[in-house]
Homo-oligomer: A and B are copies of this chain.
């Protein structure tokens, strides 16, 4: 369950802008704020089943975006390589100018 939560929070970071307001709210409260299905249902005055169904569907929506765009996967590949490059440039005693450009690349994410 922890793995699932990490996965959903990870995908949410990349694709939340593509969700509807309702999908956005339910996912944020359930996965990021750790509310229960019952608490979300009560807050929005809907059934627990409706919240459950919406969240399950949204999980599929997020996985579907990731399958097509791979933003989460590419981000992690790029982050690992940028860390490796940073270490390697320290060994090289690279110039301040190079390190500044590297920092700018890291800041784009």
Where the two chains meet, the residues of A that have a C-beta atom closer than 8 Å to any C-beta of B are 14-15, 17-18, 65, 68-69, 71, 74, 77-78, 81-82, 84-85, 88-89, 91-92, 94-95, 97-98, 101-102, 104-105, 108
Contacts and interface: CB of A to CB of B under 8 A. Distances in A.
Interface of A is mostly: helix
Contacts of A108: 74, 77-78, 81
Contacts of A17: 68-69
Contact of A102 (B68, B85, B104): B85
Given A68-B17, A68-B18, A104 B81 contact: yes
A77 B71 CA distance: 16
A95 B92 CA distance: 6
Contact of A94 (B18, B89, B101): B89
A105 B74 CA distance: 10
